[in-house]
Each structure stands twice: as C-alpha cells, then as structure tokens.
Structure 1
Amino acid sequence: MARDYMKPRRRFFHKEKQLNRSKAGNTTLFVLMAICGVFMVMPLVLIFNNALKPLDELFIYPPRIFVRNPSITNFSDLFVLMSGSWVPFSRYIFNTLIITGVGTVGHVIFASLAAYPLAKNDFPGKKFLFGMVVLSLMFSYNVTAIPNYMIISWLGINNTYLAVILPAFSYGLGLYLMKQFIEQLPDSLMESARLDGASEYKTFWSIIMPNVKPAWLTLAIFQFQTLWGNTGTSFLRSEQLKPLQYALQQIVAGGAARAGASAAVQFIIAAIPITFFIVCQSNVIETMTTSGMKE
C-alpha cells in the first residue's frame, strides 16, 4: 500500500487581483510586449537564416535578414573542416557530453542536498553559511578565476575532465535557488515521513525532490547553458579533452574564408540550449511564477 506522503502535494495559491486597466491600456501593453518580443527573437531568426545562406548572400550589402536561396552548403563545409581535424569530431562531442551532462546532474544533486538542511533544519552557523552563499553571488567568474585555478592545480586535477566538472558542482546560484524553493514546502510532509520511519535520505528523494521538480529543472537549464558555453581553455591543455565549443570557436576565428562554416557554427551553438529550454519550458515558468505554498 503506497504511503500518502510519497505523493507530491503542490498547492499553490495566488491572491486575486482586480485589474483596473481599460481595453485601450491592455491593447497598448500588448503592442509594446509584441514589439519587445520581436526585437528579442530577431537575433535567433538571423542566426537561423544565416546558417542557410550561400556565401553570396552572406556577403551582400546591405545585409538581408531572410534567406532567398536556402542551402545546406554551410553545414557540409563545416563537416569537411571538422573531418580534416587531427582530433575526430566525435571526440569533441563526447567531451562536451561528459562535461555538460555530469556537471549539470552533479550540480543539481549537490545543490539540492546542501539546500535541504539549510531550508528545513536548525544548526549552529546556519545563517553564516547561507550568508556566505549569498555573498558568493556577488562575484563574477573573472574575479575568482585565479583562486579556482590555484585550487584545481593544488588538487592535481589540471588537464582532466574533473578540472571543469568539479567547480560546476559548487555554483552558489543553484544552492540559493533550491534553498528558497524548499523552504516553501510544508513541514508536515517531512514530519509525516519521519513518523512512518523514513530516513532523511528517503525523505529527501521521495518527498523533497518530486515536489521541487520545477526548481531543479530550472537550475539544470542554467547550468547546462553555462557548461555548454565552456571552452575549457583555462584547465584543459590536451586537444583530446577539449569540448565542442572550443573546436567551433577555432572555426569562427578563421575569418571571412570560413564565413559559411561560421554561420553553421553559430546555429549549432544556439540550437542546443534552446532545444533544452523548450523541453523544460513549462517547469521554468512554474518556478518563476510560484508565489507560495500552504498546507
């Protein structure tokens, strides 16, 4: 017989608001949002069309947004360039899958495990630890690049996958996001599980994680985007360990002679994160719009 506490219980509440805008105001707001939406989507439209443009359309002036004679020549040129590399193209893809996949999954797990006691348990130094997490959000990657490199070198994992994957486990944004979301879960869920004899790990995996699925999917998107754009040049010296992003950037650096292949590269770089976002889009919107939970 399945225990009742094992089932996710999300009950969101939203206060009803009386909108006083007129029809003209709503229409104006809609038009402004539509204009902003067009400006936001225009770079993606341009990237997609450039990938299908032959060279004569890529160099035409003034530039055109939409392709007139679509062709896949740019992708075939990219394939030829990558085939001529002394490191197989499949190797770059494999490296990217390892770094992005392990780094994303590991970050979600470690951030969730660390956020659970911060959100639902009281212990000495709790506020200080969380304050340090919030403080870490103020510093960009460039500020901490040298200390990170020194730590990785001290651990002796330079020029390995771990040099890129291990720092990904400790991004403060994930811990902050998960802690804030787990705090909204009713304490009665955990209390019911403990009364039934469930351990803390059982409570975490069976109650916490299913109920905060929108949060960790949102976190996975952020981390996936970060690792997908990582070239690994700070820690990876061996060409056999470089990710796909590094190889594609080398093609873009070829200048006008590789304009077609560069257009195909830009499409590939943008397409993968967008696809991942579309798959998880509904959960991301739920995370951003949730106002609270109640028992």
Structure 2
Amino acid sequence: MKNLVLLIGNDINNISRGQSWKDLLQDVITFCHAGDCVQLDDKKPFPLLYEEIFLTASKNHKIRERDLKSFIAIKAAEIQGNSIHSAIRALRPAHILTTNYEFTLEGSTPLENTSLINEKFYSIFRRYRVGDTNYWHIHGDCLNPMSINLGFEHYGGQLQLMRNYVVSGTVYTSKEVPKPSLLRRIHAKEVYFHSWIDLFFTDDIHIFGLSLDFVETDLWWLLTYRARQKFHHKNVPVHNKIYYYIPEEYVAASKYKLDLLTANDVTIIALPGKDKLAYYESIVKGLGKTPQSSFHGCESR
C-alpha cells in the first residue's frame, strides 16, 4: 500500500521456532557469569535488569559492554524469519519502524546503511533501504552491537537526543543533519523524513507485535509530546493517526495501558488473537486494504 507506515515489535518473531526472550536473558546471565548474583524477576524493569547484569559482570569479571552486546547481537542474528515477515514485505510499505535488532523484516542483511549519518550508538537516523521500503531500526541493529538499546542509561541518552531533535534542534557536526528543530521545520513545511521521528507527526502509523511496556520511555515520551502538541500547545498541526493492534484476549488485562494510549490519541484495534499466526495474518490482510475501513467492526477505544 502506498505510504503505509508500520511500527513492529518482537512478537512477530515468536511465531518462529527458536529461543524465547527468557532463554536469551538466561544465556546473557550465563555469558556474564552472573548466575550466582542475578535472579530473573518479572518485577524488575528490563532496562534496570540489564544494568544489574552488566554492572555485576563488569565489577566481578571485568566484562566489557562491547563484548556483552556483541554476544547479544550474535544471538539476535540467529532469529529466523517466518511467513508474517514475508507477508509484511509483500505489502511494500513506505516505512517500517522496528524495535528489533535483526533483519528478518528485510529478509536479508542490508548491504548499505542509508542513514543521514553513521550512528555508532544511538538511533535517531538509523535507516536501511531495501527495495522501495525504508527500514528504521529505532533501538539499534545487530550489525552495530553498541547501538543495541537495552540498558537504562542507553534509553536516557536516546531520549535526550530525541527531544533535542523535536524541540530544541540538533548539535550534530554533519552538514546533512538539519539544525532547526522538527517543530520549526514543520512550521516551515520543510520535513524531509531525515529521521523515523518525523513520521510520528506526519503519517498514519500502525503498531503491532509491540507490547509497548512502560520501560519504552522513548516511545511513550514521543506519543505524549505529540498528543500535547495536538491538544494543548498546538504549536504545529497534527493530523495523522496512530493505531495500536492488540489481541482481544488481552484487552481486559491491559485496560490500564489502553486507557493511557487512548489519552495519547492512539486508536486501539482489537482482533481475535488466540491463534498468533492467524492474528498477525488478519492484521496484514487488513493493512492490504484501505486502513480506515479494513478493520470496521473491530473493538476500538
């Protein structure tokens, strides 16, 4: 579909056979020789759990973060694609944003980084173009292990640069990077999609396969700031729509999060989700039609 923009998370990978996220965490703890000190606990926010694992390993075994993230990058690269990845590519979306580190969405490892600048650590401009689609790895990619966004400190740095880009302007030395803030460029009608962040203020975005836990502070800040611009500050026009897809079976238990998303001008679309493969097939099939009408009759908030 022309100009289709997707934001896709890790859950589509769970259809493929292989390690679960918990298995990966246990492998990371083993790699860091931290099994006697670190215990997995659902009450620990993951970015802080990562800091616990890394700092324990750094203190006790002098493990470098570069080595740890290289290990994680190798593990991520082992994830196999499935029929949903192929179906998404068949839509030929204009942009795919993903929090995933591997290249299953692309179908193969890209040969060229087409970002505005070559980012080693953060991911404001991290883009690969394959065919007619721009792929934005907003939390880093496994070709650049230090870019993989896992820890609390990394999230903080990413958010700082995101806010600069949107609100106050950038300080990059590259002449290719626009210096005025995104808000100023929207006013001047000079938005050229330098960054994936631009799309949150300009194009409809469909989010699926992403739990949007509250540890995703960068994305929650962006949703909140966009909503404030639309309803409160009104410094720039915000006419695009954002859709969040969720299995019907999760709606009741996720009411607290869905209420917050609704307050932030996100439209909720619930679909039958007992069969994970069928759930994602229904989303992709609907997106192959006109987005505004393809999910008519589904529960929305």
Question: TM-score over 0.5 for the alignment?
Answer: no
Task: Flag the structure with more relative contact order, 1 or 2, with Cα contacts below 8 A and sequence separation at least 6.
Answer: 1
From the two aligned structures, give the one with the greater strand fraction: 2
TM-score, normalised via structure 1 length? 0.22
Bigger Cα Rg: 1
